[in-house]
Amino acid sequence: MLASYKWLCELAGFSPSPKELEEKFTFSGLEVAGVVHRRAEFDNIVIARVVEKESHPDSKKLSLVKVDDGENIWPVVCGASNCPTAGGTVVLAKEGARFGDLVIAPRKVGGYESFGMLCSEEELNLGPESDGIIVLTDIDVPLGTPVVNALDLEDWIFELEVTPNRPDALCHRGLAREICLLYDKPFLPPVPVGAVVASQSVADVVTVEIESTAGCPRYAASIVENVTVKPSPLALRYRLHNLGIRPISNLVDMTNAILMEYGQPLHAFDLDKLSGSKIIVRQAKDGEIMTTLDEVERSFTSEDLLICDADKPVAVAGVMGGLESEVTDDTTRILIECAYFNPSSVRKTSKKLKLSSESSYRFERGVDPNHEPEVLAAANAMVCALSGGQALAGIVDCYKIPIAPVEVMFRPSRYSRMMGHSVPSSEMERILEGLGAKVTPAGENFNVTIPTHRPDMEREIDLIEEVARLTGMNQIEAKLPRIQCHIPQRDNFESIKKAKEVLSALGLMESITYAFVPLTMLQTLGCANEVIAVANPLNAQRATMRTTLLAGLLENLKRTRSRYMDSFAQFEVARTYHPTSETLPCEMVRVSVVLDGYAKQWVSEPERRYDFFDAKGIASQFCQAMAGSAPEFRVPENTAMMHPGRCLSVFLAGREIGILGEIHPGILKELKLPAGAVAFELMLNSLCAQKQIAAAVPLSEFPPMSRDVAVVADEQQDVGPVLEAFSVAGGDLVTGVQLFDVYRGKHVAKGKKSLAFSVQYRSFEKTLTDKEVDMVHQKAVSAICDQFSMQLR
Amino acid sequence: MDPNEIIARLQLLAEQFAGELQNQPTEQAIRDLQAAYLSKKGKLGELQQSLGKVEPAQRKVVGQAFNQAKQAIVQSVSEAIETLVKKAEDVYLNEYFDVTLPGRLPLRGTMHPISIAMYDIVDVFTSMGFDVAEGPEIETDEFNFAKLNFPDDHPARDMQDTLFIEEGKTLLRTHMSPVQIRSLLDRPLPVQVVAPGAVYRRDDDPTHSPMFFQIEGLLVDKGVHFGHLKGVLNTFIHQVFGADVQMRVRPSFFPFTEPSVEVDIQCIYCKGAGCRLCSQTGWIEILGAGMMDPNVLEGVGIDSEVYSGFAFGLGVDRVSMLRYEGISSIKLFYENDPRFLERFWR
Distance from C-alpha of B3 to C-alpha of A40, rounded to nearest angstrom: 127
Report helix, strand or coil for A604.
coil
How close is the nearest chain A Cα to the Cα of B117, in Å? 12
Average pLDDT over every residue of A438-461: 95
Q: How many CB atoms within 10 Å of residue A265?
A: 25
Of A344, A511, A575, the CB nearest to B341: A511
Residue A481 contacts residue B218 (beta carbons within 8 Å): no
Q: Would you call B202 and A484 a contact, using CB atoms and an 8 Å cutoff?
A: no
Reported as a single tens digit per residue, the pLDDT across A526-583 is 999 999 999 999 999 999 999 999 999 999 999 999 999 999 999 999 999 999 999 9
Quote the pLDDT of residue A758: 95
Average pLDDT over every residue of B219-243: 96
Residue B160, pLDDT > 80, answer: no
Reported as a single tens digit per residue, the pLDDT across B5-52 is 888 888 888 888 889 888 888 889 999 988 888 888 888 888 878 777
Probe site for chain B from A24, A460, A491 (most B CB atoms < 10 A) = A491
Average pLDDT over every residue of A662-685: 95
Q: Would you call A501 and B152 a contact, using CB atoms and an 8 Å cutoff?
A: no
Query: Sorting pLDDT into bands at 50, 70 and 90, what band is B338?
Result: very high
Probe site for chain B from A497, A588, A598, A600 (most B CB atoms < 10 A) = A497
Residue A352 contacts residue A244 (beta carbons within 8 Å): no
The residues near A185 (Cβ < 8 Å, ≥ 6 apart) are A12, A13, A14, A179
Report helix, strand or coil for A192.
coil
Q: Would you call A536 and B163 a contact, using CB atoms and an 8 Å cutoff?
A: yes
Percent of chain A residues past pLDDT 90, beyond the cut: 85
Using a CB-CB cut-off of 8 Å, the residues of chain A touching B291 are 418, 461
Distance from C-alpha of A629 to C-alpha of A184, rounded to nearest angstrom: 72
Which of these ranges, A684-693, A717-726, B110-119, has the smallest mean pLDDT? A684-693
Does B294 reach chain A within 8 Å, measured CB to CB? yes
Task: Based on DSSP, count helices (H) and strands (E) in chain B, helices before strands.
Answer: 12, 10
Q: Would you call A493 and B154 a contact, using CB atoms and an 8 Å cutoff?
A: no
Q: Which A-chain residues 284-343 have CB contacts (< 8 A) with chain B?
A: 343
What is the full DSSP assignment across A203-231?
A: HHH-EEEES-TTT-SEEEEEEEES----P
CA B109-B110-B112 angle, 5° bins: 150
Residue B256 contacts residue B294 (beta carbons within 8 Å): no
Quote the pLDDT of residue A10: 96
User: What Cα–Cα distance (Å) separates residue A678 from each residue in A37, A381, A594, B132, B135?
Assistant: 62, 80, 6, 34, 32
Quote the pLDDT of residue A382: 95
Nearest to B293 by CA among A462, A455, A432: A462
CATH of domain B113-344: 3.30.930.10
Quote the pLDDT of residue B276: 84
Does A602 reach chain B within 8 Å, measured CB to CB? yes
Reported as a single tens digit per residue, the pLDDT across A57-72 is 888 888 899 999 999 9
CA-nearest residue to B345 within chain A is: A504
Does A488 reach chain B within 8 Å, measured CB to CB? yes
Q: Would you call B190 and A29 a contact, using CB atoms and an 8 Å cutoff?
A: no
Reported as a single tens digit per residue, the pLDDT across A187-209 is 999 998 888 888 899 999 999 99
Reported as a single tens digit per residue, the pLDDT across A245-264 is 999 999 999 999 999 999 99
Distance from C-alpha of A405 to C-alpha of A397, rounded to nearest angstrom: 19
Q: Would you call A583 and B132 a contact, using CB atoms and an 8 Å cutoff?
A: no
Nearest to A223 by CA among A399, A397, A393, A339: A393
How close is the nearest chain B Cα to the Cα of A599, in Å? 9
Does B282 reach chain A within 8 Å, measured CB to CB? no
User: In this predicted complex, what is the ipTM?
Assistant: 0.88
A597: left (phi over 0), alpha (psi -120 to 50) or beta: left
Q: Would you call B138 and A478 a contact, using CB atoms and an 8 Å cutoff?
A: no
Residue A548 contacts residue A519 (beta carbons within 8 Å): no
Q: Would you call B259 and A465 a contact, using CB atoms and an 8 Å cutoff?
A: yes
Quote the pLDDT of residue A145: 94
**Mean pLDDT of chain B, nearest integer:** 90
Distance from C-alpha of A28 to C-alpha of A5, rounded to nearest angstrom: 17
**3-state SS of A109-170?**
ECCEEECCEECECCCCCCCCCCCCECEECCCCCCCCCEHHHHCCCCEEEEEEECCCCCHHHH
CA-nearest residue to A588 within chain B is: B136
Quote the pLDDT of residue A606: 85
Question: Where does residue B28 rank: exposed (0-12), middle (13-18), buried (19+ CB within 10 A)?
Answer: exposed
Of B109, B228, B251, the CB nearest to A481: B228
Query: Sorting pLDDT into bands at 50, 70 and 90, what band is B345?
Result: confident
Amino acid at A717: Q
Residue A220, pLDDT > 80, answer: yes
Does B331 reach chain A within 8 Å, measured CB to CB? no
Task: Write B186-189 long-range contacts (CB < 8 A, 24+).
Answer: B187/A489, B187/B131, B187/B133, B189/B220, B189/B221, B189/B302, B189/B307
Average pLDDT over every residue of A133-149: 91
Quote the pLDDT of residue A602: 81
CA-nearest residue to B125 within chain A is: A483
Using a CB-CB cut-off of 8 Å, the residues of chain A touching B204 are 538, 542
Does A489 reach chain B within 8 Å, measured CB to CB? yes
Residue A89 contacts residue A145 (beta carbons within 8 Å): no
Quote the pLDDT of residue B151: 79
Average pLDDT over every residue of A83-104: 91
Of B110, B227, B293, the CB nearest to A504: B110
Residue B280, pLDDT > 90, answer: no
Q: Would you call A516 and B211 a contact, using CB atoms and an 8 Å cutoff?
A: yes
Q: Would you call B231 and A602 a contact, using CB atoms and an 8 Å cutoff?
A: no
Average pLDDT over every residue of A46-66: 90
Probe site for chain B from A461, A471, A485, A554 (most B CB atoms < 10 A) = A461
- Name the pairing type of β-strands B131-132 and B191-200: parallel
How close is the nearest chain A Cα to the Cα of B313, in Å? 18
Which residues on neighbouring strands pair with residue A307, listed in sequence order?
Answer: A281, A315
